[in-house]
Structure 1
């Protein structure tokens, strides 16, 4: 890994995402732009976490609160955590507009400062690939979960080039066009490249490598789910051709893992089961 200190790279990551906060929700794949995509997310959440029923949930690196609101839709009592104040300003504005009761706090996802056994579920999207110390982060998340609580990771092997990406590169070479940079300008693209070179999974992040580290941290019942077609297809319909093809071909996945122990049930959930 790069010899830069942990503080330096974390500071760079925070500043990078802070500078993107104002326009973050404009990107397809960040905010949700169709009811079909929203239904896909709801299906995925219920499949792995069930109904919220008022259970406490922590959304790590919540950004502008997109996933936080999806979890609130499902009935969870949501706390959104992010290290970027600029992102949290956008999240709080959105929450006020939607009249949601989501709690937002500014903390580091690798060192949250929250109490032991605080949450029935923890979620994050596109966070793990940015982590500097993945084992420490997984140990922290394990500590925060109640016995039987679930961790839901939405991420992907972003460093792995798909066949679509390689084909696109070939077309650009033949046409003497520069490599596309997505929605980023040259400076931001170079900063993102520099960040990728310094994080834990700098050489790629296969789902199996994430699961191995989760098991080392004590998690059990780890499941890798790549059935995200309905979400990705809905996103692709809003994208230019090559970006849409890349989205459908990329190695993106969900990992669900559980902290050992009796499955946590809060009072509303217990009442719905027992009828008491």
Structure 2
């Protein structure tokens, strides 16, 4: 009998593998690339512990966040289940002075020993998690005492998620349907994080207004969500 969770996750992985080249090309647009590095560099630098720290980038995709965080002096591991994304991430990292390591891995259930990291980061990941609370609980387990989770995201599908990945099993991807960023913050709290804060990313919004967003998306305010292991 087919496991609906495994089948659904496989469809997500296939979607992002097929989309990887176009997704990466958008992120590498020359008119915006350096501005993104500057703005996001400030964002990650302010939210993360002092370098060098051990950082896990969940749902790393083509490695944009992992490589930027590594350039700040951190020891970074990026994981993803989409082979096409990992291939591109490794190609980019081969040119970096201090590259992250990129591994196949599940953002919901990362396979690392307890207390392996000082921080877990992710960008545009929370809405893609089949079980956000289980994912956050697993991230907390991976953190050392006082470690942080830092997530950048928004409410992308306020008009309805549709069938982007095909038939969605009941209860999966609950944050894809979020109407407020507070629903994402609450998932972090229920997963076991404390002192959760939500900060609007006005500088990113200004970049989006000036340079546009990916096809099929609307310009909207993104947020940085930060929570701490107790």
TM-score (norm 1): 0.73
More contact order relative to length (CA 8 Å, sep ≥ 6): 1
- Deviation of 1:71 after TM superposition, in Å, equals 0.4
1:192 aligns to 2:152 (yes or no): no
> Is residue 253 of structure 1 aligned with residue 227 of structure 2?
no
2:81 is aligned, of 80, 83, 103, to 83
CA deviations 1:215-264 (Å, max 9, x no partner) are: 222211100011x2222322432228x989x31xx24211000001xxxx
Q: Is the aligned partner of 1:39 residue 2:38? A: yes
Pick one of 196, 203, 206 that aligns with 2:177: 203
Q: Can you list the C-alpha shifts for 1:51-89, whole angstroms capped at 9, x where unaligned?
A: 4x2210000111111001110121110001111111111
Q: Deviations over 1:124-158 (max 9, x none)?
A: 01111011111111111111111100100111111
Of 215, 219, 222, the match for 2:189:
215
What aligned pairs does 1:62-211 form with structure 2 within 5 A after superposition? 62-160=60-158, 192=164, 194=166, 199-211=173-185
Q: 1:32 to 1:79 in 2, by over 3 A?
A: farther
2:13 paired residue number: 14
Stretches (4+) displaced over 4 A? 28-32, 195-198
Q: d(CA) in 2 for partners of 1:9 and 1:255?
A: 27
Given that 1:78 and 1:103 are in contact with CA atoms closer than 8 Å, whether structure 2 keeps it comes out as: yes
Per the normalisation by structure 2, the TM-score is: 0.87
Please give the alpha-carbon distance, in whole angstroms, between the structure 2 residues aligned to 1:97 and 1:113. 27
- Structure 2 gaps of 5+ residues are none
The superposition leaves residues 173-230 of structure 1 with CA deviations (integer Å, 9 ceiling, x where unpaired) of xxxxxxxxxxxxxxxx97526477852224325221222222222211100011x222
Report if aligned partners of 1:57, 1:78 keep a CA contact under 8 Å in 2: yes
Aligned length: 224
Q: For residue 93 of structure 1, report the CA deviation from its aligned partner.
A: 0.5
Deviation at 1:25, TM superposition (A): 1.3
Q: Which has the larger radius of gyration?
A: 1
In structure 2, relative to structure 1, the CA distance for the partners of 1:109 and 1:20 (3 Å cut) is same
* Contact preservation (8 Å) 2:55, 2:74: yes
Output the CA distance in 2 between the equivalents of 1:118 and 1:6.
Answer: 27
Give, in whole Å, the separation in 2 of the partners of 1:9 and 1:55: 34
Of stretches 114-123 and 36-45 in structure 1, the one that deviates more from structure 2 is: 36-45
In structure 2, the CA distance between the partners of 1:97 and 1:26, relative to structure 1 (3 Å rule), is same
Which consecutive residues of structure 1, in runs of 5 or more, have no partner in the other structure?
A: 162-188, 261-276
Change (3 A) 1:110 1:93: same
* Local SS of the residue matching 1:237: helix
State the alpha-carbon separation in 2 of the partners of residues 105 and 30 from structure 1: 26
**Structure 1 Cα separation of the partners of residues 30 and 166 of structure 2:** 25
